[in-house]
Amino acid sequence: MACGTERFILIFAMIKKIIIFAAVIFFNVHIQAHAGFPEPYSAEKDITDRDITFALKENSVTVSYSRPAVPMKPFDISFKFRVDNVKSLSYSTNMKMNMGRYIFSPKPADGIYSVTPVLPKCGSGSSLWYGKLDITYNSGATESLVFFYNVK
């Protein structure tokens, strides 16, 4: 049977292991929740105040959205390509802090692809979202575009 000092050392070692284990779990969850944007923020790619036409490898696309976008209310984001050579389009959106999976497959109507998301309000007070277009062309080529916008 262990004496008082040995018992204290064993209990202290167990508590230390529990604290280290809890810290590893906490920091792992914290890092994953704050995964960040797929690329650094760029004001040149921010459509908050204006529509922007982005030059792509095989096309160009004008991205616009209904302003102001407000949390928990539907708003429109549209994509108009200069050349009608898009086979499929996937649109995803999120914040720096992971707010869940928001993935859309917009279909064209009169040459314009659009989605109508309803996005939540961030508990931390942030309002900056990113949008990511994954484009597949009729030729089989693919490319992605990342842009930013505010929902506040």
Q: Is the pLDDT of residue 25 over 60?
A: no
How many structural domains are present in the chain? 2
CB hemisphere CA count around 80 (13 angstroms): 10
Element housing 23 (H / E): helix 4-33
Categorize the per-residue pLDDT at 124 as very low, low, confident or very high, splitting at 50, 70 and 90. confident
- Please report whether residue 38 resides in a domain: no
Q: Report the CATH number at residue 103.
A: 2.60.40.1930
Could you tell me the CA-to-CA distances from 71 to 29, 36, 67, 118, 122 in Å, in that order? 25, 20, 12, 7, 9
Average pLDDT over every residue of 119-124: 91
**Which tens digits make up the pLDDT trace of 71-112?**
999 999 999 999 999 999 999 999 988 888 899 999 999 889
The mean of the pLDDT values for the chain is 88
- Please report whether residue 125 resides in a domain: yes
Q: Are both 13 and 50 inside the same structural domain? A: no
Which one is predicted more confidently, 30 or 40?
40
Q: Are both 60 and 114 inside the same structural domain? A: yes
How far apart are the C-alpha atoms of 128 and 3, rounded to whole Å? 59
Residue 145 pairs in a beta bridge with 133
pLDDT of residue 103: 95
Q: Are both 51 and 118 inside the same structural domain? A: yes
How far apart are the C-alpha atoms of 113 and 109, rounded to whole Å? 6
- Please report whether residue 138 resides in a domain: yes
Q: Are both 122 and 95 inside the same structural domain? A: yes
Q: Are both 10 and 63 inside the same structural domain? A: no
**Which tens digits make up the pLDDT trace of 4-22?**
778 778 787 888 877 776 6
Residues of the domain holding 65? 43-150
